[in-house]
Every structure is written in C-alpha cells, then in structure tokens.
Amino acid sequence: MQTQRKTDDFKNEPFTDFSVEENAEAMRQAIEQVRGELGREYASIINGEKVSLDSKFNSINPARKDEVVGIFPEGDADTTLADKAIDAATEAFRTWQSVPAAERADYLFKIADIMRRRKHELSAWMVFEVAKTWAEADGDTAEAIDFAEFYGREMLRWSQEQPITKIPGEDNSLEYIPLGVGAVIPPWNFPLAIMAGMTMAAVVAGNTVVVKPSSDSPTIAAKFMEIVDEAGIPAGVVNFLTGSAKTGEAMVTSPKTRFISFTGSKGVGLHINQVAAKPQEGQIWIKRVVAEMGGKDAIVVCDDADLDEAATGVVQAAFGFQGQKCSACSRLIVDEKVHDELLAKILALTTTLNIGQPTEGDTNVAAVINQKAFDKTLEYIEKAVSEGGSVVTGGSGDDGEGFFIKPTIVDNVEPGQTLEQEEVFAPVLAVVKSKDYDHALAIANGTEFGLTGSVYSASEERLERARREFHVGNLYLNRKCTGALVGVHPFGGFNMSGTDSKAGGREYLLQFMQGKLVSRKI
C-alpha cells in the first residue's frame, strides 16, 4: 500500500483550464481514444467474476442517439443476480469489516491517484454517455477525486479516539463500526462523482456494497469498477449490477441488505423509503436509508442586487449541464422593480450560449439525457404557456440527431403554477415576479422541496434574514446555487429533497456506521 494522507491536508482537485492549448489537446486526444472504444460489451461483476446474460441493453449517446456507448446485461431478466451479488457482499463483509480503517482509506487514496491519471479519459466517457460538456465532465471527475481523498481522510478521523466524558473507576470508549451490506443506487447526472462517492463512503466505513448504476450511465460505472480492481480492493467488497427497476427492487427488499444509499427522483426515493421500512422475513435490523432526491431551487434577486452578477449566476445555474442538476436554478424570483432590467441581461447572456455536440470544446449546452426527458420537457413548456406563462427565448427542441432542447426562459409564471412547483430537470427557467423581499421569501419557501437556494442583495439585513428564513440545505448568498465543492459545501436538502445527507461533509460517513460504546470497570 502507499503512504497515507494526513487527516487535515485535504485540498480540492483543481479544475482543468481548457483555454490552455496543451489541456485542450489532451482532452481532444482522450475523446478520440474513447471514441475508438465505443460499443464494447461489458459484464456485471459479482465477487470479482464477470457475469453476462443473453438479454442485453444499450447505453446510447444522447447527443447522437444512433451511437452506442456500451452494451450491458439486462439484470431484470434474471433477478437472482441481485441475490447472488448480495450473498457475495455478505461473505466479503465478514473479513472486510475487520480491515484496519487506515488500510481501507489507503485504497481510496489509490483510487484517487488512478482517477487523476485517467482524468481526461473518464471525462471523455461522460461526454459521450451523458452529453456533458468539457467543463461539466471535468468538474464531475474532479469531484470524484475529491470524494476519494476526503472520505479517506474522514475515515482516519472517525477511527481515532472519540471524545467522551471520563469518570473515575471506568475505562470507556466509543467507536464506530460498519453496518453491513449496502445497496448503492446512484443517478445518471453525476455518473462518476456521485456513484463513486456513494460507493467509496460506504466501503471506507467498512461496509460491502452492490452498486446498480442508472441504465442511462452504466459505462462510466464500469470504468470505475476497472479502477476498483486496479486499486486491489478484495473481490466481493464492491459488486456491480446493471438493470432497471426489478434489479433495484430486489436489492432494496433483500433481508440481507442493511442500508440503501440512493440519489435520484422524489418518487423513487419515497418508494425506497417506504419499502425499506417494512421488515422482510429473516431481517433483524431496521434498514437505514440515505436518500438525496429532487429540488425546485430558486435564486432570489432583490432590488438592490448587482444585476450583472445575478444574471451571470442565474444563467450558469439554470443552463449548466442542460439544467440536469438537482441543484439547478429552475426558478428566478425577482423583485418586480428590477425585473425588466435583469431579464434583459439574462436573455442577452442566454442567447450567446453555444448549443452543439459535447465533444466540441466550445459547446455550452448539449442534449438532455433521453427521449422521455425530451418529451416531458416540451410538455412542461406547453403547460406553462397554457397557464399564462410567456416564452421569451427557447421553447422548442430537436430530437433528430440527439435530444436537444433550447435553453428556455418562461416569464410571467405565477406562484403555485406547474412550472413553479414541479422539478423539470432540463434547461427551463421559470421567472416569477415578487412584490418585495417578504413576498420573495414566501415564494422561495412555497414548494415541497428544500435543496439549494440563492439570494442576491447588497443588504446585510436581507442576507441575514435569508440565513434564518430560507429553508434549504444549501444556501448561497450573492453567488449561484450550483457548484458545491467537497469539504467546502457539504451537500443535502430538506423536506422532499431528501435526508439532508450532507455529502462531502464531515458527518457523511456516520450514515454508514453505528456507534458502539465499550465500558470497562477498573
């Protein structure tokens, strides 16, 4: 194993500056390398062994829907695979739980080093598989590296002596031990960072897992499994299944599953929470659910705000990665006194965004993830117009070559209307006028979600009120509501946005461990 990091020396992985020609050329070479590897067939991995099925599905490039990125086993055709994978994880847990924390952390540091070496290649896979632009893909890879480095250090910290009150006559200690076997069900929108982060957090805490990536992004997960293997993590600690609903359901309902780590939609998250709460025959624990779900995130712009800064933040947060982030700005709540001026600035910036293939370095907006997302987005826009909204730019799409939706701004949206309440997960921004700051905060808090939010104002009093009254897990003041950094902005939301897990925070690993107090009379 390699030299361990110190618990206090974490620094975020730098983003790549693609304006430097050397970096741009390295990315172009990585894209061409990956292009030459498209369409290969991959297997599920159970206890270190590759498992294939006759039934398969294709992962496609959303920006070129006739381009197959990878071919995978359709696990739903044989749900016994889930049981086999869980059994393998159960057996591996017997030994993995006793591996010293420092050794488990060292595996994560090795994974970070491998990802750093393969950085542009990993980013290129996301360019093809989920249509991330260069900058968005690079940020995803950097975050995955950060998770490995941060969680490794956090495990070192949690494995140290924990502070408890001392009394005479007893030797008392509190330690944190792993839970057991976990089902890890990550999303497609951060297919490396969130998938790897959820997996590594559970594993470094001493658990074993079965990972089932989204059917829209299995290839990058398969590449991560290559890295897990190269790092030398023992067979059975991380098992890899591909499939759809039946595979995930089998993982969630197994009596041998101790916890479920999920990131995705509100509907699926609530279903998992409900199913996991019902004990199965032979189950001897209450399953723990770590769920990060949706958002209907708002940026509030006050009448005293720097409108140029606000406009830039809104456009970046609304249309980065085609608005397909749970943290994306999908509502702009602007004081009616500055509405026209701000909207003009936002419109000017939006119309300069370059829509195109994500393989090109100058693309700002690419395709949404699939046909369902494309169709649903256009339906939401039509619904908004029917309810009185006005499309000021965009409003249409083209699903000929890929699933492209133009960045869309809908003005005159009223509180309570569909586009103001429901998560769209696409490049669509609802603009809502507020009468004053009281009204703005009421609108901002007027949904079932509570993930991210932002306020632009020059008033310290207003910003302090936002701290107290804007009910979101991640609140940003005078900056955009996307772009959380590991260790800097622990991430997770309130209400229907999930269990506020605070991924990338100091307490995140506690969700995968349980405290054991040992008291000895002396």
If residue 327 lies in a helix (H) or strand (E), which one and from where to where? none
Distance CA 115, CA 103 (A): 19
Instruction: Judge whether 97 and 206 are in contact, CB under 8 Å.
Output: yes
Kindly list the distances between the CA atom of residue 196 and the CA atoms of 202, 206, 327, 440, 496, in Å, as whole numbers in the listed order. Answer: 10, 15, 19, 37, 24
d(CA 158, CA 156): 6
Q: For Cα atoms 130, 406, 194, give the angle at the middle one, nearest 5 degrees.
A: 25
Location of structure tokens 């307490």: 507
Helical H segments across 160-244, by residue range: 193-204, 218-231
Phi and psi at residue 435, to the nearest 5°: -75, -35
CA gap 381, 424 in Å, rounded: 10
Query: Which residue in 13, 292, 420, 423 is the catalytic one?
Result: 292
The 3-state DSSP class for residue 174 equals: strand
- N-to-C CA span, the chain: 38
For residue 219, CA distances in Å to 10, 87, 341 come to 29, 24, 45
Query: Does the active-site annotation cover 326?
Result: yes
Which member of 302, 326, 329, 481 is catalytic?
Answer: 326
Catalytic positions, written as ranges: 292, 326
